[in-house]
Amino acid sequence: MRIKFAKTATTLALCGGLVAGCSTDGGDVAAPETSTSSTLATTTSEMASAPVASSTVPAPATCGSDLLASLSLRQKLAQLLNVGVTGTADARAIVDSEQIGGIFVGSWTDQSMLTNHEVPQVTSASNLPLMVTIDEEGGRVSRVAGILGPDPSARETAETMTVEQTYQMALERGRGLKDLGITVNYAPDVDVSSQPADSVIGDRSYSDDPEVVVAYAGAYAQGMRDAGIFPVIKHFPGHGSASGDSHTGAVTTPPIENLIASDLIPFRELANTGVGVMMGHLEVPGLTEPGVPASISPSAVAFLRAGTGYGAAPFTGPVFTDDLSGMQAITDRYDIADAVQAALVAGVDQALWLTTKDVPRVLDHLEEAVASGALPQSRVDQAVVTVAQTKGAITC
């Protein structure tokens, strides 16, 4: 078969996959039957059939305006949080109490939530489709190897498999994830690296050749999409040649010109193929502000969004942070509430961290930030619409 990397829009009509709004099966909440786009079409038809004075013609509805009007500020902010859970009870409680936008299944999560097919108990507590996210790259970064069996690392994949075999592997893995209730996979890793296999990126990278990364990561992402799983490529703008491990401290990459010549090529080629992008905790000379990692840097997010700085098309899909609570590149300098605020202000759409206990405090903090103007309401609304599009709650 020939693998085609379709240049799809970010909003993916994947019924039964991420777009839980397509069906009420499995406890997911159905999307409203009348979308903004269909409402606008009806309005246009009525206007065409009846003479109306120009002064009374209503302005076209803004994408997501009905959804935004239905949510309180706290509910909007909650949609921008994706938080690690310990198991079904923990997940159900935080979704029920705060209506967060997503949960994260980590290495510490009780796997019975997946093996006993308990995810629908969690999603049924959400008024909007819920992102159920995971890190499932294969190799040493696998959360379901004990359930679905092991997959090879990215580097081993590129060395021993064809691109078409990689697609088939991802398709099979994606179907397994979907059956467990997962909707979003923070994979593939598109970092370009020749680091030793056991280093922070190492064998998580397909190759030190960006074109090989594009081919294999593109096939993996396509397999996930075709299985109904939304893939997220990482770690923008490239962790493969960085100075260290952001889990243990601050990390600096080579200057942005160097990244443009190599590390950014996979992002340029793949960012607009129906994927999300995860920002790395990376300080980039010539791009990020001094001491500010890309994950909370306005200039880094703007660079991704515009695309022009590295030859890419504008990116309108969802932007995620890497973990904000368990990586010292962030925690050495920021409290979780401040880190989440900084990420959202910078232009990220959904902030990721590892425990539910701080969710109420973070939401209190964000409400105060909006009230003071530190976090613009327009930025919140924009992110809510992007997240809702990705989850299939609205179409625009």
Which positions are annotated as active-site residues?
247, 322
Is residue 345 within 8 A of residue 298, CB to CB? The reply is yes
For residue 135, what are its two tokens?
């890190």
Nearest to 158 by CA among 190, 121, 122: 190
Report d(CA 298, CA 87) in Å as an integer.
Answer: 34
The span from the first CA to the last CA of the chain, in angstroms, equals: 32
Report d(CA 338, CA 333) in Å as an integer.
Answer: 10
Q: What is the DSSP string of 194-246?
A: ---TTSSSGGGSS-SSHHHHHHHHHHHHHHHHHTT-EEEEEEET--TT-SS-T
Length of the chain: 396
CB atoms within 10 A of CB 46: 10
Angle between helices 163-180 and 210-226 (to 10 degrees): 40
Burial of 66 per CB tally in 10 Å (0-12, 13-18, 19+): middle
**Helix segments in 271-311, DSSP class H:** 298-306
Report d(CA 386, CA 396) in Å as an integer.
Answer: 10
**List of long-range contacts for 32-40, beta carbons under 8 Å, 24+ apart:** 32/66, 35/394, 35/395, 36/61, 36/63, 36/64, 36/65, 36/66, 36/67, 36/394, 36/395, 36/396, 37/395, 37/396, 39/66
> Given 3-state DSSP classes, what are the helix, strand and coil percentages for the chain, each rounded to the nearest 5?
45, 10, 45
Helix (H/G/I), strand (E/B), else coil: 135: coil
